[in-house]
Amino acid sequence: MSLANGFLPVNMDEVRELGLEQLDFVYVSGDAYVDHPSFGHAIITRLLQAHGYSVGMIAQPDWKDVESIAVLGRPRLGFLVSSGNMDSMVNHYYVSKKHRESDAYTPGGKAYQRPDHATVVYGNLIRKKYKDIPVIIGGIEASLRRMAHYDYWSDSFKRSILLDSQADLISYGMGEKSIVEIADALNSGIAVRDITFVAGTVYKTKDISGLYDYELLPSYDAMRADKTLYAKSFKVQYDNTDAFNGKALAEPYPNGLYVVQNVPQPSLTMQEMDDVYGLPYQRTYHPSYEAAGGVPAISEIQFSLISNRGCFGGCNFCALTFHQGRTVQVRSHTSIVNEAKQITQHKDFKGYIHDVGGPTANFRKPSCQKQMTAGVCKHRQCLFPKPCPNLEVDHSDYLSLLRKLRALPKVKKVFVRSGIRFDYLLLDKDNTFFRELVEHHISGQLKVAPEHICDAVLSKMGKPENAVYEAFTRQYHRLNQKLGKNQFLVPYLMSSHPGSTLKEAVELAEYLRDIGYMPEQVQDFYPTPSTMSTVMYYTGINPIDMKQVYVCKNPHEKAMQRALIQYRNPKNYDLVLEALKAAGREDLIGFDKKCLIRPRKLAGEKAVYGKKGISGKNSQNSSVKKPVKKKTIRNTHKKVHKK
């Protein structure tokens, strides 16, 4: 039941317009209301609507005003709460902990429209207004903070978000199956405190005598006192993220309280995925935002297609394993092509489908058939440190899909912009997909994520060794040359990841020197909740083998590691000079072609290079005197790998 404008009600007048006096559920979101399947709140509300429940939306309420949570009245069954498509702290802050100046998920890109730790704040706001109403939290923030966790922004070890938000349940993961089961249970008259049986949920209890085949985790107090216990606990949690072989987990808290995580919800079948993405979305933001200029995030996804979810890549700095799981789930070609046809009818469509993918674009099937009956392996990864012998590599289905999409009327080009897993690509004995990717689906440059080039760091990241990336670049450039293309590779690189010392940071700078490439952007490692890398950052221990890991926490050293990756930038000279001296690599300060920087002051000359720039005839670096054009750098990158 939707309004004339196609959206869900956002005020009581619109509720009455639907002939209702009370809604079944009210969804509270930290994001603006965008009715598009790339937004979690759109999927959950449309799914509940499809199952016969009435739902209203409160987007970005004023958390300082308790009445802002009551604009749709008291719902019959409960409140659903999410911080939005991102953890609110990641949304708000750079890794430096400085506040971001804008928010793509807010009308007009305006910042400060949601609180820090939004799920907790919204939950407590509801509790202040309605003491006994069921509150179910979900989305990425609740999902990744569902058990005790390290919070980077406060540098503290926090309790389960279930407790701090005063919610009754967490629907973790993607949530489609669990939210419908919760709704049906509430609708049948079951008290929310008794809903302890739904897969993909977390609840609190003082009685775990009825639990079967579960793991008892270390207590919150014990983990707060001993970081080693947290590392061990996280490994147990990480090993129980599969619906087939995962166990329930119980985490003790003071006063006899337990936070219990049920086993994950089963993966969606192809038909279920099609059903979810076939719901009647308006595919845009609420019309009330038009005056503010709309919601910027829509531009990134309006002409893109989601073809899969889940990822067996297993990168340690990524939360996908914890949120979507390692089993790849896909939509049918028919579903995706039908959505593409809808896109082509949009008044602003210019002929370009911006992306066809998901967490990893070229994963269109589970890594092996065993996963479909026994689940993913608990004690080994599919691609790391070496590809599993049982790994099934096949791009034919994805290639067939791309061919269908680019053959559609009005479609000029179909790009692949979400991540390509290059190590998986290289394992395919059939080169057809790689060739057609280069020929048809790249918009001038292909972005890939080697992340680093030192194997010691890559092993902590869960990434393949650098030789694999080198083999990929050679093949990529060979194909470009063969097809008469002049397309570039843009590698994503990360500084200060656990395991990276100044030594490895200098080696990465030397690599960039040798290929003639200077990244315009560098991602400093960001410790976000519930990733293996974040646990390493907090504990100094690798949960996989319980060995000590070097962690760069000093802000100044982090700045030096980051500066080394962009050593040609004149603003970074002082940091690079200090880093090279600290690493004992003064051999890289000089005039040889292998040097990264030149001495600041030449003997007998007045020229000085400093923070304020260059004076005199001689500069610290010829690239500072006359900046190297981006195209020149990338062409050099290309030529190096042709050799």
How many Å from the N-terminal Cα to the C-terminal Cα in the chain? 63
If phi > 0 it is left, if psi is from -120 to 50 it is alpha, else beta; for residue 359 that is alpha
Helix (H, G, I), strand (E, B) or coil at 169: strand
Pairing state between β 257-261 and 201-205: antiparallel
Q: What is the residue whose two structure tokens read 């060979």? A: 478
The H-assigned helical ranges of 102-175 are 118-129, 139-144, 161-164
Q: What is the residue whose two structure tokens read 């009825």? A: 210
Residue 66 DSSP label: G
How far is the C-alpha of 188 from the C-alpha of 359, rounded, in Å? 37
- Determine contact, residues 28/80, Cβ cutoff 8 Å: yes
Interhelix angle for 555-565 vs 502-515, to 10°?
20
**Amino acid identity, position 534:** T
pLDDT at 610: 39
For the chain, the residue count is 643
- Determine contact, residues 183/189, Cβ cutoff 8 Å: no
Read off φ and ψ for residue 368, nearest 5 degrees: -160, 160
Count of CB atoms situated within 10 Å of the CB of 111 = 14
How far is the C-alpha of 546 from the C-alpha of 470, rounded, in Å? 30
H-helix or E-strand containing 488? strand 488-495
Helix (H, G, I), strand (E, B) or coil at 608: strand
Q: Spell out the domains of the chain, with CATH numbers in brackets.
A: 12-203 (3.40.50.280), 303-443 (3.30.750.210), 446-643 (3.30.750.200)
**Amino acid identity, position 84:** G
Interhelix angle for 573-582 vs 555-565, to 10°?
110
If phi > 0 it is left, if psi is from -120 to 50 it is alpha, else beta; for residue 417 that is alpha
How far is the C-alpha of 416 from the C-alpha of 434, rounded, in Å? 12
How far is the C-alpha of 306 from the C-alpha of 440, rounded, in Å? 19
Interhelix angle for 502-515 vs 630-642, to 10°?
90
pLDDT digits (tens, 9 = 90+) for 82-140: 999 999 999 999 999 999 999 999 999 999 999 999 999 999 999 999 999 999 999 99
Task: Count CA within 13 A, CB hemisphere, residue 28.
Answer: 31
**Amino acid identity, position 124:** N
- Determine contact, residues 346/427, Cβ cutoff 8 Å: no
Residue 1 DSSP label: -
Would you give the distance in Å from CA 10 to the centre of its chain?
29
Q: Which residues of the chain have pLDDT under 70?
A: 1, 601-643
Helix (H, G, I), strand (E, B) or coil at 304: strand
Task: Count CA within 13 A, CB hemisphere, residue 345.
Answer: 7
In this prediction the pTM is: 0.91
Nearest-10 Cα torsion for 30, 34, 36, 39: -10
Nearest-10 Cα torsion for 306, 308, 310, 314: -90
Burial readout 141-154 (b: 16 or more C-beta within 10 A, e: otherwise): bbbbbbbbbbbbee
Cis peptide before 385 (omega within 30 of 0): yes
